[in-house]
Amino acid sequence: MSDPKKLFIKTYGCQMNVYDSERMAEALGGQGYVETQSPDDADMILLNTCHIREKAAEKVYSELGRFKGLKAEKPDLKIGVAGCVAQAEGEEIMRRQPMVDLVVGPQSYHRLPAMEEAVGKGEKALDTDFPLDDKFDTLKTRPKAKRGPTAFLTVQEGCDKFCAFCVVPYTRGAEVSRPAERIVREAQELVEAGVREITLLGQNVNAYHGHEGGLAGLIWALDKVDGLERIRFTTSHPNDMDDALIEAHGTCDKLMPYLHLPVQSGSDRILKAMNRKHTRDQYFRLIERIRDARPDLLLSGDFIVGFPGETEEDFEDTMDLIRTVHYGQAYSFKYSTRPGTPAAEKPQLPDDVMDDRLQRLQALLREQQKASQDAMVGKTVTVLFEKAGREQGQMIGKSEHLHAVFAEAPDVAVGDLRQVAVTQSAPNSLGGTLLASAG
């Protein structure tokens, strides 16, 4: 048998890309590829790209520039660009970087094996269709190899919301939900491979409609999967938080008390200009209802500063919203103009104004993150252990609230769920003492 060919995949952007990269590696496994951690010994390099902000998209071209030397040394090396930059820029990528052999959009990666064969014959391959056949149907079932205790599972793709700043509806297309029975089967396979926690992924995951009762219905179906201990989902739009999903946060033990619910801005004027289709008051009322269902819920969010037309007063409204809601953690971004989106037509704010606002906003979010972590000291949390720590005998895992937790745990194995008494709060993690297991 000939040596396996080596595949190096570099993943940018969101968790959906992490999931897609796994599935692409599996698809190419059928072509005789195994993954390598280094581009230097690869027979094929695949960049799974992100187009959400300009910086993310530009990274792809600088990374490709770095592979030029490798390609010169090894002319058989195949170079591919996948993901949202592939979708948005298509052939333009091959024009800018002629050494690229293959461009594949996020909806077409089930066609990768055939594309790889075409490239093997010296052809260029490009596929940025939104095909009618479901890539998840075409892909083989997942390999049975043992894996770590946590996994992502894409249940929904695309978005119909058309926020004025966002490329997702164009790069990922319209909302599509995978049928629930396939998701449940994939979850069972993941559990058989050692997974105990699954994060359901979708650009607009709470708009999932592949099961009666929407995402809540799917969560309850997964709740019945033996051996699956924890369920999370990301990322959600406030307008799709229906009653059943809110209630599930209070009643489903496997659903973790953590919710990523981006609001982007706290100003009604800017929310309207962003086409978010809700007001700040509606968001406040929603948060109240979710916290009534699950009082200890840790809330996460996304914020954009410097959207076109944002005044100092609008920005202060965002700061005020953050102070009122209190986030356990959150992501924040400077507005980035994306070609083809409605907001791209509007005059931009000066960079120094955006920088200043981002710094002030991030300082507030850091303060809140610290307060939320510090509040865990003295409490007992359940930790799903994921890997060994740097120090001898130390293990690292995640709490129900998704805090990273370190503990001296020489007898604990990866995949164990154990109770830890939290004793300290460091900048991005908690430290604690392992409690004796109950029986």
Which positions touch ligand 5AD (CB under 6 A)? 52-53, 165-166, 262, 264, 302, 304, 333, 335-336, 338
Residue 52: CB minimum distance to ligand 5AD, A: 5
Question: How many binding residues for ligand SF4 (CB under 6 A)?
Answer: 10
CA distance 248 to 211: 15
DSSP E strand stretches across 187-244: 197-201, 230-234
Compare residues 24 and 166 and give the one whose CB is closer to ligand SF4.
Answer: 166
DSSP β-bridge partners for residue 157: 176
For residue 79, what are the contacts with CB-CB under 8 A and spacing of at least 6? 44, 45, 64, 67, 71, 99, 100, 101, 102
Closest chain position to ligand 5AD (CB):
302
Task: Out of 97, 203, 329, 373, name the contact with ligand SF4 by CB under 6 A.
Answer: 203
Our finding on whether 163 is near ligand SF4 (CB under 6 A) is: yes
User: Which range binds ligand SF4 by CB under 6 A, 128-136, 164-172, 192-200, 208-216?
Assistant: 164-172
Q: Is 2 exposed, middle or buried (0-12, 13-18, 19+ CB in 10 A)?
A: exposed
Inter-residue contact 159 to 203 (CB < 8 Å): yes
53 near ligand SF4 (CB under 6 A):
no
Write the CA distances from 294 to 216, 244, 287, integer angstroms: 15, 13, 10
Q: Which is nearer to ligand SF4, 77 or 163 (CB)?
A: 163
Which residues does residue 333 pair with via DSSP β-bridges, in sequence order?
304
Q: With respect to ligand 5AD, which residue has the nearer C-beta, 21 or 234?
A: 234
Q: 108 or 203: whose CB is closer to ligand SF4?
A: 203
Contact partner, 304, from ligand 5AD, ligand SF4, none, Cβ < 5-8 Å per class: ligand 5AD
* Long-range pairs, 393-398, Cβ under 8 A, ≥24: 396/429, 398/150, 398/197
Nearer to ligand 5AD, 56 or 218 (CB): 56
Which amino acid is residue 15, in one-letter code? Q
Site for ligand SF4 in 214-273 (CB under 6 A): 237
For residue 81, list its beta bridge partners. 47, 103
How far lies 115's CA from each of 11, 102, 106, 124, 253, in Å?
A: 20, 7, 14, 8, 44
CB-based contact 173:202 (threshold 8 Å)? no
Whole-number Å distance between alpha carbons of 266 and 320: 7
Question: Which of residues 79 and 349 has its CB atom nearest to ligand 5AD in the complex?
Answer: 349
Least Cβ distance, residue 14 to ligand 5AD (angstroms): 7
Nearest to 232 by CA among 207, 200, 209, 265: 200
Q: Which of 58, 65, 123, 162 binds ligand SF4 (CB under 6 A)?
A: 162
Asked whether position 169 contacts ligand SF4 by CB under 6 A, the answer is yes
Is the separation of the CB atoms in 69 and 353 below 8 Å? Answer: no
> How many angstroms from the chain centroid is the CA of residue 25?
18
Helix or strand (DSSP H, E) at 419: strand 417-426
Among 159, 180, 290, 361, binds ligand SF4 (CB under 6 A): 159
> Is residue 48 a contact point for ligand SF4 (CB under 6 A)?
no
Stretch in the footprint of ligand SF4 (CB under 6 A) among 24-32, 156-164, 314-322, 412-420: 156-164
| Beta strands 394-398 and 404-408, pairing class | antiparallel
Please identify which residue in 177, 204, 318, 399 interacts with ligand SF4, judged by CB under 6 A.
Answer: 204
The least CB distance from residue 212 to ligand SF4, in Å, is 24
Residue 166, interface with ligand SF4 (CB under 6 A)? yes
Cβ contact 90:104 at 8 Å: no
Of ligand 5AD, ligand SF4, none, which one sits near residue 53, judging by CB under 5 to 8 A according to partner kind? ligand 5AD
Query: Is the CB of 159 or the CB of 187 nearer to ligand SF4?
Result: 159
Binding partner at 49 among ligand SF4, ligand 5AD, none, C-beta below 5 to 8 Å by kind: none
- Judged by beta carbon distances under 5 to 8 A according to partner kind, the member of ligand SF4, ligand 5AD, none in contact with residue 169 is ligand SF4
Binding site for ligand SF4 (CB under 6 A): 159, 161-163, 166, 168-169, 203-204, 237
